[in-house]
Structure 1
Amino acid sequence: MNQAQMTPDVIVIGAGGSGAALAARLSEDPDRTVLVLESGPVPRQLSAFPAELLDARLVPGARPGSPAVRRYPAHLTPRRPYTVVRGRFLGGSTTVNGGYFVRARREDFDRWSAAGGAAWSYDGVLPFLRSLETDLDHGTDASHGAAGPMRVRRTDLRHPAAVAFRDAARHLGFPPEPDKNAEQEPGFGPVPCNVVDGLRLNTGIGYLLPALDRPNLTVRGGSTVRRIVIEHGRATGVVVQRAGHDGHRELVKCGEVVLCAGALRSPQLLHLSGVGPRGDLDRLGIPVVRDAPAVGVRFGDHPQVVLEWRPRAPLPEPVGSWLGGALHLPSSDGRHPGGDLEILQSLVPLSGLVGGTVTVPGAPLPFLVSVQSPCLGGRMRIRSADPDVPPSLDYNYLRTPEDRRRMREAVRTAAALLATPAFDRVSAGRVEPIPGTLDEDRSLDTWIDARLGTSHHTCATVPMGTAVDPYGRVHGIRGLRVADTSILPSAPLRGPAATAVLIGELIADAMRSAG
C-alpha cells in the first residue's frame, strides 16, 4: 500500500445527496483543498450521464440489474427477505431515486432540535433550505429560494389519473396542499421534485459539475474507501482502493475526514475503522479505537406497500415525471399532525418502473402507500471485518399493533380514494385487496405482510446526541465528521432526499465558520 502524494485539507467520502453539497460548499473557499472519493462513476459533464439516469419518468433504483446501485440484503420482517439499494454513482441516491424533493416538517425539526439544539430548529434551518434551491414555481419569498444549486419544480397534475386523484381527495374531504415545502396543512398536492423538463437533476449535477474546474477541488470516481485511519484519537487519512488497479490500496493523508457515504455505508466504515460497539468489534477482531455503543446499531425507515388499479381505457404517457400527486394525512391516533401517512401516485406501471420503460399496455397503475412515522425499529449489526460484506439489516417493520393499524389505515384510505365517483371516471377498479380482505383486520395484515416493501428512507444509524454533535463531529475522535442522514435522530415524516442536501449545507457552513 502506497501513500498518495496529495494531502488535502478535507476528504469527503461519498458524492451523494449530502456529500456533493458539502464538498461544493467547502471548495468555495479557495484556500481549502477538498478531495471527494466516490465509489461509483463520476461523469464530468451532463452529456456523459446514461440516459436512463436522467429520465425522470423512470426510477433507476427500481431496476433489479441497475449498475448504478449498491445492494444490501435485508429482512423487512423475520419472514420477509428483501434487497435494499443505495446509489453508487455521482449524486448517490439522488441519481437513482424518484426525484422526490420534499422538505421535512416543522414537527421533525422540533424533534431533532431536542438533540441538535437551535441550529436544528425549523427557523434555524430555513435559511439553508432557501439557499440550496432554485424553486421554479415560487421563486424567492419567505419560504423559498431562487439562486440555489438544486432546481425544484412541482409535478404537473394535468394527467387524467392525477386529476382523478385530486378530485377523489377533495371528495373525501382532504384539504388541498399546493406547496408541500411551505408547512401547509397536510393534504393533496403536487410533488416538489429535483426534475426540470423531464431531467432528474441530481446533486452531482446541481453542485459538483459546476465546481469541477476549481483548482482546490478533486473528485475521484471508482474510489472505494476501505477504512478511516485514526491515530492517537484523530482521523488522519483513509485507505482507498481504486477501480481497475488490481486491488491496489493507497493511504491518503488529510487534515479532516467527512463521512457522507449514506446511512448504511457510513456506520459500517466507522465500525471497520474501530469506532462502534466494543462487543461487536471484538467479536470480529477489529481493534477498538472508540467504544461507541450508538454507532451502527439502530435505524429508522418507512414501510411501504403497492396498491394497484386498472385504467378504464388507455391513458397517455406521463410527461416530465413518473409521479402524479401525493396525499399526506395524519393517522387517526393524532400523534403526528404533520402527517405520517403518505399515498404517492405513480403514472408508470410497476412493471415499467422495474423494467425501465414508461409504457406497459394493459398494465395497472400503482399507488405507493407508506407509513412515515419516525420510529426506530430497525437493527443493524456488522457481520465481518471485510468491507465487501454488508452488515446485517433487520427492519422489524409492523412489529407493534400501532404499526399495523397505521398501515391498514393507509391502505384503506387509498382504497377509499379509488372507490370515489371521481376516480371511477378513469378506473375500472383496484386489483387487490378484494373487499373481504380489505374489511377484516387479520386478513388485511396477511395481505400487507406478503407485499411489504420499504421506502428506502434509512436514517439514524449515527445519531446526533449519542454518536455525533449537531455538526456531525464524532464523539471522542478529532478530525472526523459524519454528514448524511445517518445523523438524524429519527426519520422525517417525508422522504429524506431534501434533508440529506440540507445536512451537507448545514455542516459545510459550520466547517467554514470554524475556519
Structure 2
Amino acid sequence: MNRPDVVVVGAGASGAALAARLSEDPSRTVLVLEAGPVPADMSGFPEDLLDARLVPGAQPGHPAVSTHLVRLTPGQAYVATRGRYLGGSTTVNGGYFIRAREADFARWAQAAGDPLWSYERVLPVMRELENDLDLGDGPLHGDNGPVGVRRTSLTHPAAVAFAEAARSLGYPEEADKNAQEAPGFGAVPSNAVDGRRINTGVSYLLGALNRPNLTVLGGCPVRSVVIEGGRAVGVVCERGGRREVVAAGEVVLCAGAFVSPHLLHLSGIGPARELERVALPVVADLPAVGAALSDHPQVALEWTALEELPEPSGSWLGGALHLTSSKGEEGDLEILQSLVPLAGLVGEAVSVPGAPLAFLASVQTPRRGGRLRTESADPLVAPRIDYGYLETEADKSALRDVVRAVASLVATHVFGAVSSGLVEPASLDDDTALDLWIATHLGTSQHTCGTVPMGTSGDSAVDARGRVHGISGLRVADTSILPTAPLRGPAATAVLIGEVIAKAMREE
C-alpha cells in the first residue's frame, strides 16, 4: 500500500476492533502491522488457541506468546506473557469478558476531562460490539455485534459447590456480571462460545480481509514511530529480516501496555531525562509515559477434591465471586474458579489426575504504582518493568481479605461435599504469617493498564481520544491509556477502547 491513511500497530483486542471499524469507511486506507502470525482463515489457528478449556497465555514457552521479565516487588521476578498472534492476548487468555464497572468509567471520564468515557456514553458502544447469546438485545445488551458473549456453565460439580458455598455465606447472586448489579456470585461472561475461544482477530478482522482498503501484515514488529516537525509520518518496522520505513497519514499504537510506551520512548516521547540517559533524542518531554502502571495482584489457592471430578466441557472457568475488601471500593476483590488444575493450565492439559483445583484470588482496587523504564536505545533490549505490588499496608490487607474469603468458602459444609480442604496456606489467623505466604506465592492477573494515561494535566500523556500530547498524527488506543485498571479484568474494555477511538476518529 502506498502511504495508507492510518497505520495500526498491533492486531490485538483494541487494534483489531479499531482497524475493522476504520476500514468500514471505503475512503480510508488502513494498514495493520502485527508482530505475530496472521492467518488468512480459521484453519490457520492451532487447536489449542481455539479450545476454551486451555489457556496458552499460562505457558511462557508457548509459540503464540511473548514473554516479559518483570518485577512484582523489588525482590520478586516474574514472567508476564502477552499474545503474539492475530488477536493478541485475546488469542491466548482465559476468555473472560466482563465489562468495567460504572465507577471505573466515572473515574476515567473525570481524569480525561471528557464525558466520552462516561458510562452513559459508552453503554451504546458496548451494546454494539457484542452478540449476547444468553440475553439477546435489550437496554443493556446487543445481539448484532462481532463479539459473541456466552456465560460459563455452572453445572460442573465444583461450580455447583462454589455457588452453594457463596449462598450459604450470604453473598448475593449476580446473574449478569455485565449489568452493573450489586457484586456477588455468578457465571463469567466470556467470548468463548460452544467451547471455542473467539479472539478479536477472528471476530473483527478475518471477515474484513477482503476489503480493498484494509491490509493486515503479520511478522512485522514495529521498532519506532517516525516523527518529523512534531508530526508522526510513519513507522520503522522489520519485515522479512529487513528494517524499513512505512509512511502513514496517521499512526495508532495498539501494541499493549508494555510495548506501546516502549515504542513511544524509542521514538523520543517520554521523560526527557530518562531518554537522554540512554542516548535517545527527545522529541516530546512527556514524563507520564511509563511513569507508573496499574494491574491486579493475584494468588492461587488450591484445594483437594474428595474424588476425581469430570473434565470441564466448555471452558476452564467456573463461577466468579466479587466482594468488597475491608478498606476498599465496592466489589474490589475477585475469586475466580478454575475447573482445570493449575498443572493443566501450565502444561496444556484439561485433566491432570490427582492434581488439586484452584481459585484465583485477586485484588482489583484501582491503584497505580511501579514503572516502565527504557534501558537502551536498542529496541531489542527489553524495558525494565516494576509492578510495585505490596508497597502499602492497604495492599497487604486486601490480599489477606481475599485469601481468607476463599478459605471461608472452602470450609463451608456445602463445599465440603466435593473438597477435603485447602492445600495451603496453613496459617490464616496470623497477619504476619499470612503476609509471608502471600509474598512468596504472589502473581498477577496480567491486566496491565495506565502506562500512557489519558488526561489533561501534566501527569497524563494522551487526551480522551488517544491523541499524544504535543505530537500530531499519533494516537494510542489500548489499555495503556486507562489511568487505572478497572475493577474487573480489562479484556472487554480493551475491545471497547478500539471501538471508542475508532468512532472518535471517524467523527473527526
TM-score normalised according to structure 1 size: 0.97
Instruction: Tell me, yes or no, if structure 1 residue 286 matches structure 2 residue 280.
Output: yes
Instruction: Tell me, yes or no, if structure 1 residue 18 matches structure 2 residue 14.
Output: yes
Other-structure match for 1:410: 402
Other-structure match for 2:136: 139
Instruction: Tell me, yes or no, if structure 1 residue 452 matches structure 2 residue 442.
Output: yes
Q: 2:188 aligns with which of 185, 188, 191?
A: 191
| 1:34-92 CA distance string (max 9 Å, x none) | 00000000011112101111000010010132011111111111221101111111000
> Aligned letter for 1:507?
I
Instruction: Tell me, yes or no, if structure 1 residue 470 matches structure 2 residue 464.
Output: yes
Worse-superposed segment, 232-241 or 61-70: 61-70
SS of the equivalent of 1:501 reads: helix
Q: 1:56 aligns with which of 33, 52, 57?
A: 52
Q: Give the distance between the partners of 1:372 and 1:498, measured in 2 at CA.
A: 15
Task: Determine if contact 1:378/1:394 at 8 Å carries over to the other structure.
Answer: yes
Note the C-alpha offset of 1:362: 0.5
Other-structure match for 1:231: 228
SS of the equivalent of 1:223 reads: coil
After superposition, residues 171-250 of structure 1 pair within 5 angstroms as 171-242=168-239, 245=240, 247-250=241-244
Instruction: Tell me, yes or no, if structure 1 residue 391 matches structure 2 residue 383.
Output: yes
Q: Give the distance between the partners of 1:356 and 1:389, measured in 2 at CA.
A: 30
Alignment gaps of 5+ in structure 1 = none
> Aligned letter for 2:29?
T
Note the C-alpha offset of 1:394: 1.1
Q: Give the distance between the partners of 1:239 and 1:377, measured in 2 at CA.
A: 31
Note the C-alpha offset of 1:377: 1.3
Other-structure match for 2:247: 253
Other-structure match for 1:33: 29
Instruction: Tell me, yes or no, if structure 1 residue 125 matches structure 2 residue 122.
Output: yes
Worse-superposed segment, 197-206 or 71-80: 71-80
| 1:207-260 CA distance string (max 9 Å, x none) | 000100000000000001111000000000011101xx2x31111111000000
> Aligned letter for 1:124?
R
Q: Give the distance between the partners of 2:431 and 2:115, measured in 1 at CA.
A: 43
| 1:156-212 CA distance string (max 9 Å, x none) | 000000000000000000000010000000000000000001100000000000100
SS of the equivalent of 1:298 reads: coil
SS of the equivalent of 1:124 reads: helix
SS of the equivalent of 1:65 reads: coil
Identity %: 66
Instruction: Tell me, yes or no, if structure 1 residue 441 matches structure 2 residue 431.
Output: yes
> Aligned letter for 2:430?
E
Task: Determine if contact 2:301/2:359 at 8 Å carries over to the other structure.
Answer: yes
> Aligned letter for 2:272?
R
SS of the equivalent of 1:403 reads: helix
Q: Give the distance between the partners of 1:86 and 1:389, measured in 2 at CA.
A: 17
SS of the equivalent of 1:438 reads: coil
Instruction: Tell me, yes or no, if structure 1 residue 101 matches structure 2 residue 97.
Output: yes
Task: Determine if contact 2:60/2:67 at 8 Å carries over to the other structure.
Answer: no
Q: Give the distance between the partners of 2:445 and 2:8, measured in 1 at CA.
A: 26
Note the C-alpha offset of 1:508: 0.1
Q: Give the distance between the partners of 1:507 and 1:115, measured in 2 at CA.
A: 17
Other-structure match for 1:89: 85
Other-structure match for 2:492: 498
> Aligned letter for 1:156?
S
Runs of 4+ residues deviating >2 angstroms: none
After superposition, residues 312-351 of structure 1 pair within 5 angstroms as 312-333=306-327, 335-337=328-330, 339-351=331-343
Q: Give the distance between the partners of 1:474 and 1:68, measured in 2 at CA.
A: 30
Could you say what the CA RMSD is over the residues aligned between the two structures, in angstroms?
0.7
> Aligned letter for 1:422?
V
Note the C-alpha offset of 1:344: 0.2
SS of the equivalent of 1:85 reads: strand
Instruction: Tell me, yes or no, if structure 1 residue 424 matches structure 2 residue 416.
Output: yes
| 1:284-305 CA distance string (max 9 Å, x none) | 1111110111111210001000
Other-structure match for 1:364: 356
Q: Give the distance between the partners of 2:380 and 2:46, measured in 1 at CA.
A: 26
Task: Determine if contact 1:304/1:455 at 8 Å carries over to the other structure.
Answer: yes
> Aligned letter for 1:494?
R
Q: Give the distance between the partners of 1:283 and 1:352, measured in 2 at CA.
A: 44
Task: Determine if contact 1:301/1:378 at 8 Å carries over to the other structure.
Answer: no
Note the C-alpha offset of 1:31: 0.5
Task: Determine if contact 1:195/1:321 at 8 Å carries over to the other structure.
Answer: yes
Instruction: Tell me, yes or no, if structure 1 residue 76 matches structure 2 residue 72.
Output: yes
Other-structure match for 1:273: 267
Other-structure match for 1:295: 289
Q: Give the distance between the partners of 1:34 and 1:396, measured in 2 at CA.
A: 38
SS of the equivalent of 2:301 reads: strand
Instruction: Tell me, yes or no, if structure 1 residue 114 matches structure 2 residue 110.
Output: yes
Q: Give the distance between the partners of 1:464 and 1:65, measured in 2 at CA.
A: 33
Note the C-alpha offset of 1:270: 0.3
> Aligned letter for 1:426?
V
Q: Give the distance between the partners of 2:337 and 2:165, measured in 1 at CA.
A: 13
| 1:371-392 CA distance string (max 9 Å, x none) | 0011001211111111111111
SS of the equivalent of 1:308 reads: strand
> Aligned letter for 1:354?
V
